[in-house]
Structure 1
Amino acid sequence: MRQSIIAAAILLAACAATPAAEAPPATAAAGPAIPYDPATNRNAAEAPSGAYTLDGRHASVIFRLRHGGMALSTYRFDTLSGTLDFNSAAPASSIVNFAIAANSVSTGILNQAGERGFDREIQGFIGAEATPNITFVSTAARLTGPGAGIVSGNLTMNGQTHPVDVEVSYHGWRFNEARQRHTIAFEGHAVIDRTQWGVSGGVVDRVASREIEVFIQAEFNKAN
């Protein structure tokens, strides 16, 4: 919301006259803002090993970039699929495959005609027609701490494949009464340089940062 000229002037004057306050001291993390259900087992060693399938209704891939070098713009993909071969005895040996429908990008922004024209522009930038799926195939993993690790793999987008490291956190597992099967959950975070995948040139370089931050939430259901 735009501030009036008078309000802005008062604010600037106040800032000039008042010394900057010291940053509050850092405090220890108190855990997630939204607590885990007590029925969720956070011990990965007790999670059932085996083949799992991504629950697309309880998964998300959100990405954000800096628009014009200023504010962060956030978007998402709506259609996801994937598999997980989980080994509770040796979690680092687990294998994950992830696929995103490139034409499922959703910005929530409509053009003057009430159409999702911006979505189609992004689909063009990432080569959705020639490469319908953005895929990630893991090649290695290593633990970095309790419930945390790095999953390395190959990311294919816009017809090009390059290695990517994904920081992964383990949410836990539980028996899903509704589906009568075990469910295991993770989150992931990565930063990629879009130009490595040929997403560059023209308007893209003018308005979008090279670095794209990706956030993943994923629940996998164990095959019966």
Structure 2
Amino acid sequence: MRKSSFALLALAAAAVLSTGAAQAQSAAYAIDPTHTFVTFEIGHFGATTNRGRFDKKEGTVQFDRAGKTGKVEITVDTTSINSGTPPFDKHLQSADLFNAAKYPTIKFVSDKFSFNGDKVSEVSGQLTLLDKTNPVTLKATQFNCYQSPMLKREVCGGDFEATIDRTQWGLDYGVQYGFPKNVRLVVQIEAIKQ
């Protein structure tokens, strides 16, 4: 009886230790703003495509390749919107659209990573925009981790995209004129192991 109790205790301790070892493989990464871009594309009367990007962004990533888990949090500054046309930027920042004075940030938070082999294939989370939160899944078009020869640290990143219905967040401007509801989001992200 004592032997079996000791064996069970030893197994439980081994399980706790192995769980701790698995958790220890999760690493913290900081988003590299010089290699991270958040952009959007929306059709313009079926003739061309309007594009813009947010120049200021920050965030963190927790990533465990072996455990195939991760967490990400990205915040973009809506006042940093850049379409390449200053009058259009002012309209994008106005109450008609992103309402940057009232809602200065957009946030994406995720704790669900999906994998194809050892590569991240998609990241599912919650997008908060104009004080409304809805689920969004960003699909990876490419993903890789590498040892940066300049930083002497591991860097992980990829290109991710999703198409969202902007009216879910109350971004309704122009729908009555024929502007599409759907917006393509493209997120290029690289994060440096800390």
Could you state the TM-score of these two structures normalised by the residue count of structure 1? 0.69
Amino acid in structure 1 at the alignment position of 2:184: E
Which of 156, 163, 170 pairs up with 1:184? 156
Distance 1:82 1:150, change over 3 A: same
Shift of 1:58: 0.9
Whether 2:69 is the aligned partner of 1:99: answer: no
Shift of 1:187: 1.3
What does residue 134 of structure 2 align with? Answer: 162
Q: 1:127 is matched with which residue?
A: 99
Taking the aligned partners of 2:167 and 2:46, their CA distance within structure 1 comes to 16
Which structure 1 residue ranges, 4+ long, deviate > 4 Å from structure 2?
none
Give me the whole-angstrom Cα distance separating, in 1, the residues matched to 2:153 and 2:66. Answer: 20
When residues 145 and 65 of structure 1 are mapped into structure 2, their CA distance, relative to the original with a 3 A threshold, is: farther
Alignment-derived partner of residue 190 in structure 2: 219
Aligned residue in 1 for 2:13 = none
Opposite residue 183 of structure 1, the aligned amino acid is: V
Q: Is this contact kept in 2: 1:127–1:158, CA < 8 A? A: yes
Paired residue for 1:55? 32
Which secondary structure does the structure 1 equivalent of 2:34 belong to?
strand
Deviation at 1:132, TM superposition (A): 0.9
- Distance in 1 separating the partners of 2:27 and 2:110: 16
Please give the per-residue CA displacement for 1:111-146, whole angstroms capped at 9, x wherever unaligned. Answer: xxxxx1210111121121111111000042322566
Report how many aligned residue pairs link the two structures. Answer: 168
- Note if contact 1:53-1:83 (Cα within 8 Å) is conserved in structure 2: yes
RMSD of aligned alpha carbons: 1.9
C-alpha displacement of 1:49: 4.2
Decide which of 144, 147, 155 is 2:119's aligned counterpart.
147
Alpha-carbon distance in structure 2 between the residues aligned to 1:175 and 1:146: 16
Q: Residue deviations 1:46-71, cap 9 Å, x none? A: xx740000000111112101012332
Paired with 1:158 and 1:180, the residues of 2 have a C-alpha distance of: 39
Contact kept in structure 1, 2:120 and 2:143, CA below 8 Å: no
Partner residue, 2:165 = 193
Residue 89, structure 1, aligned to residue 66, structure 2 = yes
Residue equivalent to 1:43: none
Structure holding more strand per residue: 2
Query: Is residue 77 from structure 1 mapped to residue 54 from structure 2 by the alignment?
Result: yes
Q: Percent identity?
A: 30
The residue identity in structure 2 corresponding to 1:221 is I
Tell me the secondary structure at the aligned position of residue 136 of structure 1. Answer: strand
CA distance in 1, matches of 2:100, 2:176: 19
Q: Give the match's secondary structure for 1:75.
A: strand
Q: Which amino acid aligns with 2:28?
A: A
Q: Using the TM superposition, give the Cα deviation of residue 89 of structure 1 relative to its aligned residue in structure 2, in angstroms.
A: 0.9
State the alpha-carbon separation in 1 of the partners of residues 145 and 177 from structure 2: 44
Q: Which moved more, 1:72-81 or 1:163-172?
A: 163-172
